[in-house]
Structure 1
């Protein structure tokens, strides 16, 4: 086997492992490392203290409804809940109604935004939203391009589903890499909202 072919094989294996990690979540939960400046509390929610947060990446893309471009930066000045999901993901289905209920509960204070990933046909994602009554917008990101924009050592989505809370200054404040209940979401959202008061 030539050196080039051997290198190509290693690269293919590395990409496969990265893809497996990204998809492993449909059921797994992760933890944050203290060296990255965040801590994981009870329930697997990683948080970053206000003075140590990094900027959220410039997430943008076409909305699932096909009309216009959605940009995370358009919501600067508001707390944002960013949920990474796929219509094929069982934990995503389990949390969908609770996310919608929380979006309604916090409608005046928090913007909910989804990133739909790994759905090769947007019709599947649209059907998912209709079935679960999801009304907040989602960016269609079938190949995971937007997910890969998260800086290393921050709070990147490493599994599906992942829910991230972004503070009003556009910084990554909290992350959970599992299906969320409304109570879990309250625990992530309320401390970040309290910073604005």
Structure 2
């Protein structure tokens, strides 16, 4: 019998599949899977060449009244902020783009928090709450974040408005509690303001 070891194709294929799955899991942090034809179901229209979508007044769907405890253990729900423009940011401490945009989010929060604007983070997939708390401490984040490790609250959003696998995602909710704008992926100051300012400028109900 020959001593030559033949290739084992099944093992090689399994190894390749494992590597592909790992790569997919890592890339999910900045996926933009919530764009496309589903936008029309919630009135969102994506600006050409950007990852920002907007819904005009009269074409907006209600945001779900997500609720739970903050990272500090304080009860919170979205309807607590009715009458304000709310900026929701879905993030995780394990997500690189989330880390990159945290400074920009905090700067915009500092700039607009006295102008009828409320920021609310939605922390997801952090099974250890201490990792999320450490993230906020390191990045100097001062606005509250709802702790949603299993993504239960994210699943309450209308179909086409939020892909729970697309993290980070930022959503602007108008004063009437309706979905007004969305951006998938990490954002910088100018992009955040371009989402926020038009909604803030709308007449108060």
Query: Shorter-chain TM-score category?
Result: 0.7 to 0.9
Higher Cα Rg, which structure: 2
CA RMSD of aligned residues (A): 1.9
Unaligned stretches of 5+ residues in structure 2? 1-23
Superimposed CA distance per residue, residues 138-196 of structure 1 (whole angstroms, 9 cap, x where no aligned partner): 0000000000000114x224411000000000000001110010101011001101113
Say whether the 8 Å CA contact 1:157–1:177 is kept in structure 2. no
Q: How many pairs align?
A: 176
In structure 1, runs of 5+ residues without a counterpart are 1-19
**CA distance in 1 between partners of 2:40 and 2:171 (Å):** 19
Q: Does residue 1:26 correspond to 2:33, yes or no?
A: no
With over 3 angstroms needed to count, the CA separation of the structure-2 counterparts of 1:174 and 1:77, relative to structure 1, is: same
- In structure 1, what is the Cα distance between the partners aligned to 2:40 and 2:50? 20
Does 2:99 match 1:93?
Answer: yes
| Deviant stretches of 4+, over 3 Å | none
Match of 1:152, SS state, is coil
Q: In 2, are the aligned partners of 1:25 and 1:160 still within 8 Å (CA)?
A: yes
- TM-score normalised by L of structure 2: 0.81
- Residues 76-132 of structure 1, C-alpha deviations (whole Å, 9 max, x = no match): 000000000000000000000100000001111210000000000100000000000
Q: Does 1:54 align with 2:57?
A: no
- In the TM superposition, 1:113-132 aligns within 5 A as 113-132=120-139
Match of 1:35 in 2: 40
1:105 is aligned to 2:111: yes
